[in-house]
Chain A
Amino acid sequence: MSLDLKIDDLEVRAASGRVLLSVPRLSVAAGMCLGVKGPSGAGKSTFLFSLAGLGANSSGAIAWGGTDLMVLSPEARAKFRRHHIGMVFQDFLLFEELSAAANAALPGAYSRRARQAVIARKAGDVLDRLGIAHGGRTVESFSGGERQRVAIARALAADPEIVLADEPTASLDRKTADRLIEDLVRMVREEGKTLIAVSHDPAVYTRMDRVIEIVDGAIVSDEVRDG
C-alpha cells in the first residue's frame, strides 16, 4: 500500500473559534521529502499534528493512502500512528531517566511481543548510524544534538512509512544540524519513506524534494525543487 497524502478542505480552529490552519487542497506522493517553512506561530506544528491525526476542532479530510484519519476514532488514529507514522517533536520529549536505547525502543513497550525485539534491534541500528555509541546511558546527561538523535531513532524504530519531524535541527549548531539532517534524509530515502519536516533552517529545504510555506494558517507557496 502506498501512503500518498491527500488533504481536502482541512480547517483547524482554536477553542475560541479562530482559524489556525486552512488547507483547501494538498497532495504529497509517498516517498517524497516535503519541507514546511513559515514564520513563528504560522501554524506549522498545528499542520504536522493534524497530519498525525492529533488535531482537535478540525474538519475536512486527511487521507493517507485512502485512509481518512478524520473519520477514525481516537483509538483507531492511535493505531494508525503506531503502525505508519514516526514523529520527532519540536522539543525532544524523552524519558530522562531511561537509557538512550530504551527511549529509542519506546514504541516496543506497547507493541506485540514478536515486534518488540524487531523494534529494539532497529532502534539500536539507527542509534549506531547516528553515532550514538553509548545507548546504555540515561539521556539525562545527553547534549541537545544527542537527544535529537535519540528522538529520531525513536521515530524510525517501528519502521514507519511516514516520518513527521518538527524542527529536527532547532537549537543545534550549524555542523551538528547539517550532519543530522543529512543522516535523517539519507535513511528516509534509503527506505523509501515519506518525510515531512518543519524547519526554519534553509539548509533543511535544500535537501527536500518540495517545500511549502505556511503563513497565517494558509499555504502561500509550494515549490518543487529539482535535485
Chain B
Amino acid sequence: MNPLAPLYRAIEWMPVLAQDITVLVVLVMPALIVGALVLVGFRPFPLVRAMLWRFRWTNALFVLLIAVSVGLGVGLIAQERGLRQGTARAADPFDLVISAPGSEITMMFAAVYLQPSDVPLLSGEIYDEVANAPDVTLAAPIAFGDSYVSSPVVGSTAQFVTHLSPDLAEGAMFADRLEAVIGSRVDLALGDSFTPAHGVGDAAEHDAHAHVEYVVSGRMQPTGSPWDRAIIVPVEAVWEIHGLANGHAPENADQLGPPFDPDYFPGTPAILVSAEQLYVNYALRAQFTTDRTMAFFPGTVLANLYSLMGDVRQVMSIMAVVTQILVTAGVLAGLVILTRLFARRLALLRALGAPGRFVFSVVWSYAATLIFSGAVLGVAIGYGAAALISRVVSAQTDILVTATLSWPEFHLVGAFVSLTVILALVPAFIALSRPVVTDLRS
C-alpha cells in the first residue's frame, strides 16, 4: 500500500525520528547523487545565475507553478492529519459513552461534538447501575437539548466539568442550581445572566424557559473541542426547568450532583463513564452492550470512521500522485521550452569549446534550481494553506485543527524533488543534441 512500508520495516529498530530522517535522506539521495555526478569538476553557478536573472519573470512564474502544485499536495496531507488529530483530541476526555441503543456515530456526534440530535433517554436504574459499577471513577449524565444563542446548554455534574477542565480559567464551579460554567469561547462574562432556549438552532423555542435565568459562575480552560462553545449547568436545573423531578428524593431536594436517586431520575440521553484502568472500561462496555443500552469508545468509533474513510484517502492519495506525475510531466515540458530560450547561449558555450558535460551541468543546475526553489516555496505555500483552512475549519466546527508540517509532507516533497531533478536530465540531453551553428546564427 504505502511504497515506503518496506523501508520503514527495514529500519524499525531505529528511534522514530531517526527513521523519518533516514527515509527523507533515502528519498533525496538520488537527487544528491545525480547532482554530484553532474556537477563534479565544474562551477556552472555564475552562468546559471545569469540565466535565471535574464528571464527572471518567466522563471519566477515557473517556480510558482511548481510551488502551487507542491503546496497543494503538502497542504492536503497536513490538513487531513490536522483534522484527524483535532477530532481525536476533542474526543479524548470521552473514554466510554453509554446511551440508548442506536447509531454510535450519531450518538458520538451528539455527546462528544455537541451536534444536536433527538435521542431516547436512559433511565435512572441504568444510571444507577453504571454509577455503582466497581472501579468507575466518573459517571456523568450529559443532558443536552437546550441552547443559548449558538451555545448548547448541557446539564451535567461538577465532576464532569472538572474532567473537561481540571482547573477553571476563572471564577468558580456552579454551587447553585441556576449557576453555569461556560466554555472558553462563550461570549459571556462572569456574573452575566442568560435565559436558555428549548432546543437548538432555528428550531429553538425562546420563550419556553422564559422564567429561568442562569448566572455565569466560572469559565473552563480551552479544550480545543466544541465544548469550548458549550455552557454547562447542573443537570438538576435542566430537569427542573422541563418540569421533571430533579434526580433527588424530596428530603434531599437541594442536593447538587451525585448520588442520584433512581426513583427521581428523569433520564439522560448519555452517560460519560471514566475508569482508572483500561480493562474496567472494556468490562463496562461489555456489561452495557445490551438490548437496552449501547456502550462505545468514541476514540474507537472515530478510528473506525477514519479507517472507513481510509479507502477514500487511498483514492485521494492516488489522485495526488497522478497529479504530481502530471505536474512533473508539465515541469519537464516547460524545462525543454525554457532551455530553448537559452539555445543561443548554450551554442555559444559549445562553439567556444566548453565540454558537453559543462553545458549539460549548466542546463541541469538551472532546472534543478527552479525545481528546488519551487519545492521550498511549495512547502511554505502548503503550510500557509493548511493554516488558513485549519482556521476556517476550527471556526466552523469548534474543533481545534492545528496545521503543522510533518514528515510525510517532507517525504512527499523529497520524492518529488528527486524525481523531477532526475527527469531534468532529459532537457539537458535535449539541449546538448541541438545543432551549434544553427543556434548560433538564430
Tally of contacts, chain A with chain B, CB under 8 A: 67
Interface size (A, Cβ < 8 Å)?
28
How far does the Cβ of B363 sit from chain A's closest Cβ, in whole Å?
13
Given A78-B353, A87-B351: A102 and B46 interface contact (C-beta under 8 Å): yes
What is the 8 Å Cβ interface bit string for chain A, positions 80-94, against chain B (1 contact, 0 not)? Answer: 111101010100010
> For the complex, what is the distance from the CA of A190 to the CA of B440, rounded to whole Å?
30
Give the contacts of B121-168 with A (CB-CB under 8 A). Answer: none
> For the complex, what is the distance from the CA of A45 to the CA of B44, rounded to whole Å?
29
- Contact check: which of A78, A89, A97, A102 meets B354 at CB < 8 Å? A78
In the bound complex, do residue A98 and residue B437 qualify as a contact, i.e. CB atoms below 8 Å apart? Answer: no
Interface size classification for chain B: 20 to 34
Q: Is A133 an interface residue (CB 8 A)?
A: no
> For the complex, what is the distance from the CA of A87 to the CA of B436, rounded to whole Å?
14
Q: Is B89 an interface residue (CB 8 A)?
A: no
Q: Is A96 an interface residue (CB 8 A)?
A: yes
B351: chain A residues at CB < 8 Å are 52, 54, 81, 87, 89
In the bound complex, do residue A85 and residue B54 qualify as a contact, i.e. CB atoms below 8 Å apart? Answer: no
How far does the Cβ of A2 sit from chain B's closest Cβ, in whole Å?
20
In the bound complex, do residue A93 and residue B353 qualify as a contact, i.e. CB atoms below 8 Å apart? Answer: no
In the bound complex, do residue B358 and residue A95 qualify as a contact, i.e. CB atoms below 8 Å apart? Answer: no
What is the 8 Å Cβ interface bit string for chain B, positions 409-442, against chain A (1 contact, 0 not)? Answer: 0000000000000000000000000011100110
B43: chain A residues at CB < 8 Å are 109
Q: Is A74 an interface residue (CB 8 A)?
A: yes
In the bound complex, do residue A87 and residue B437 qualify as a contact, i.e. CB atoms below 8 Å apart? Answer: no
B435: chain A residues at CB < 8 Å are 56
What is the 8 Å Cβ interface bit string for chain B, positions 345-356, against chain A (1 contact, 0 not)? Answer: 100111111111
- Contact check: which of B44, B54, B344, B350 meets A97 at CB < 8 Å? B54
In the bound complex, do residue A109 and residue B46 qualify as a contact, i.e. CB atoms below 8 Å apart? Answer: yes
In the bound complex, do residue B358 and residue A98 qualify as a contact, i.e. CB atoms below 8 Å apart? Answer: no
Q: Is B53 an interface residue (CB 8 A)?
A: yes
> For the complex, what is the distance from the CA of A78 to the CA of B348, rounded to whole Å?
12
> For the complex, what is the distance from the CA of A93 to the CA of B12, rounded to whole Å?
57
A55: chain B residues at CB < 8 Å are 437
> For the complex, what is the distance from the CA of A89 to the CA of B442, rounded to whole Å?
13
- Contact check: which of B50, B54, B353 meets A80 at CB < 8 Å? B353
How far does the Cβ of A96 sit from chain B's closest Cβ, in whole Å?
7
- Contact check: which of A95, A107, A154 meets B345 at CB < 8 Å? A95
How far does the Cβ of A166 sit from chain B's closest Cβ, in whole Å?
10
> For the complex, what is the distance from the CA of A107 to the CA of B44, rounded to whole Å?
12
In the bound complex, do residue A54 and residue B436 qualify as a contact, i.e. CB atoms below 8 Å apart? Answer: yes
Chosen A-B contacts, 18 in total, with CB atoms closer than 8 Å, are A54-B437, A56-B435, A75-B355, A78-B350, A79-B353, A81-B351, A81-B353, A82-B353, A82-B355, A83-B353, A89-B440, A93-B440, A95-B50, A96-B54, A98-B47, A106-B352, A107-B353, A110-B355
